[in-house]
């Protein structure tokens, strides 16, 4: 059974912030998109000759960072959250596990420095870094203007797109505003996804639901033709037992930062440029070597992008 990850994607993971714009293109299964925070370049992998999956990467190969002076780094104390699968959770052996934890370990391996990873409640992480109880927060912390006043961030290492899901017999390669005129589209009431549909898909017939469970049930029962929401949690639902293999993504990702946030970075104490630059260098190297792609595919067998 797939881990349940819905509990915070409509809060911290998808902040309601203003600013920025987005353009995206889908070309033969390769995803490329340009947002307010920079360029994301897709890498592709193929498990078999017939299967190709695009993996998002948020690093520009034309802007390779210089190797920083790492001699001042002797220890990195990473902090993450206690219970937010698949990004961070306690493994069977009692040790920290998850996408964020494994990425932190890759960073440590790239920098060749000793690291520790401590788990804390999410609401204590910012205070912990302010009081020097840790050096870096890697806990799916969304970059927002307010948080930039309290901490500095590394480059983005993932974003949370929005996507449409349809029943398998109604999936389309591309979803545009004009293609949804008059169609019944479900969305969670009061969410950033509802606001986006009201602004951009004005011809759709919107049906609102109180939560994700009710929304997905409506699609399974054909009360609506599509639903729109957070693509990462939807990817796990599509691939899990609860969906009963009813549905699949329709069209491509939407990552408009005004509605779905700037993205996720690693937070460090204000002014800690030595560590921030080292993290940026290591993240680029991990992506360039294909290790980020391997990590992504291990945790996201149904790609949210």
pLDDT digits (tens, 9 = 90+) for 137-147: 999 999 999 99
Please, are residues 88 and 100 in contact by the beta-carbon 8 Å criterion?
yes
φ, ψ of residue 267 in degrees (nearest 5): -95, 140
Q: pLDDT tens digits for 160-206?
A: 899 999 999 999 999 999 999 999 999 999 999 999 999 999 999 99
Neighbouring residues of 252: CB distance < 8 A, sequence distance ≥ 6: 24, 26, 31, 163, 174, 175, 305
- Angle of helix 212-220 versus helix 231-239 axis, rounded to 10: 50
Q: What is the dihedral of CA 164, 196, 304, 1, to 10 degrees?
A: -70
User: 148 is written with which tokens?
Assistant: 């930039």
Topology (CATH) of 75-159+261-299: D-Maltodextrin-Binding Protein; domain 2 (3.40.190)
CATH 3.40.190.10 location in the chain:
75-159+261-299, 162-254
Q: What's the pLDDT score for residue 4? A: 34
Beta strand pairing call for 162-167 and 226-230? antiparallel
Backbone angles phi, psi at 226, to 5 degrees: -145, 160
Residue 6 pLDDT greater than 50, yes or no = no
Q: Each residue of 100-153: pLDDT tens digit?
A: 999 999 999 999 999 999 999 999 999 999 999 999 999 999 999 999 999 999
The CATH number, out of the four listed (3.40.140.10, 3.30.56.10, 3.40.190.10, 2.60.40.2890), of the domain defined by the range 162-254: 3.40.190.10
β-pairing, 30-35 with 22-27?
antiparallel
Residues 233-265 have pLDDT tens digits of 999 999 999 999 999 999 999 989 899 989 999
Query: Which band of pLDDT confidence, cut at 50, 70 and 90, is reported for residue 23?
Result: very low
Q: What is the pTM of this model?
A: 0.77
């Amino acid at each position: 059974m797939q881990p349940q990850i819905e509990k915070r994607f409509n809060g911290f993971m998808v902040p309601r912030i203003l600013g920025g714009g987005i353009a995206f293109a889908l070309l033969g299964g390769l995803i490329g998109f340009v947002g307010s925070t920079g360029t994301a370049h897709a890498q592709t992998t193929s498990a078999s000759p017939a299967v190709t999956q695009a993996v998002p990467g948020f690093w520009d190969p034309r802007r390779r960072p210089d190797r920083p002076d790492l001699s001042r780094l002797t220890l990195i104390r990473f902090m993450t959250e206690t219970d937010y699968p698949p990004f961070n959770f306690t493994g069977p052996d009692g040790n920290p596990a998850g996408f964020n934890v494994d990425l932190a370990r890759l960073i440590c391996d790239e920098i060749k420095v000793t690291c520790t990873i401590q788990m804390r409640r999410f609401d204590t992480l910012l205070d912990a870094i302010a009081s020097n109880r840790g050096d870096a927060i890697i806990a799916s912390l969304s970059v927002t203007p307010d948080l930039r006043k309290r901490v500095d961030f590394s480059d983005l290492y993932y974003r949370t797109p929005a996507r449409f899901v349809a029943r398998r017999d109604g999936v389309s390669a591309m979803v545009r505003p004009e293609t949804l005129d008059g169609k019944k589209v479900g969305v969670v009431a009061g969410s950033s996804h509802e606001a986006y549909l009201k602004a951009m898909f004005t011809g759709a017939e919107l049906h609102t639901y109180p939560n994700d469970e009710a929304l997905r049930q409506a699609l399974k029962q054909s009360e609506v033709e599509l639903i729109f929401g957070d693509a990462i949690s939807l990817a796990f639902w599509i691939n899990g037992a609860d969906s009963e293999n009813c549905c699949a993504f329709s069209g491509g990702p939407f990552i408009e930062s005004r509605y779905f946030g700037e993205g996720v970075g690693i937070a460090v104490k204000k002014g800690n440029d030595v560590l921030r630059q080292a993290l940026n260098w290591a993240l680029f190297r991990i992506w360039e070597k294909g290790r980020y792609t391997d990590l992504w595919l291990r945790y996201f067998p149904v790609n949210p992008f």
